[in-house]
Amino acid sequence: MAKERPAPTYYSTARLEAYTDGVFAIAATLLVLDLTTAALGQIQTDAELWAALARMWPSFMSFGVSFALLSGLWFIHLGQFRGIARVDVTLVWLNAARLLFVVLIPFTTSLVSDYSTFYAGRMLLPINFFFAALFGHLSWRWAAARHGHLLTPDAAADIPTEGAGGLAAVICGAIAAVASPWLGSWGFCAYFLNGPLTALLRRRAMRRAAAGAS
């Protein structure tokens, strides 16, 4: 007599969302530490203070880019969990892998401003963002596997299009990582392609779904 397969164990979606939101919030807050720990030197006049702040422009730029992209990753997470009805252990660990790279973002951001003359200083931040986006997309792909076994009914019906934003972020992250040794922080301009690429991937998925239904 064949043994019955044990029923899968599911966990609270709300708890995982709260934990993820907290990690994103802490990572975004820690980004500013690189600015607050910067030494301005001896300041005696307003002109010297403005000059010292102007010399910090690489740090301000790194902070702004990282904060904007981190907010973009959180926005993708927000959209994903809108369609996730339940969480299993695999999704928990895929999400944990994403958060591993999220909490590293303040550290790799500091490398850009302090060691931008070295390849590693320019490459580690875009590589960091790439893996954070990749594990975010893999989380969605797992939730959507087996005809959407972890999704709400509405999200399961839109599987071909709902993952387009996460996949676009992965592609843009890969382009930024490849371009960063030569372009430095300008390689992050690849993320400007995220919106058009998401729209393109959604249209392609809709055409394929329509062709399969006909």
The predicted-structure confidence for 80-92, as pLDDT tens digits, reads as follows 898 999 999 999 9
What confidence score (pLDDT) does residue 119 get? Answer: 85
Q: What is d(CA 77, CA 56) in angstroms, rounded to the nearest whole number?
A: 32
Mean pLDDT of 189-202: 90
Say whether pTM exceeds 0.85. yes
Among 99-103, 117-121, 142-146, where is mean pLDDT lowest?
117-121
Q: What is d(CA 52, CA 71) in angstroms, rounded to the nearest whole number?
A: 28
Mean pLDDT of 1-11: 69
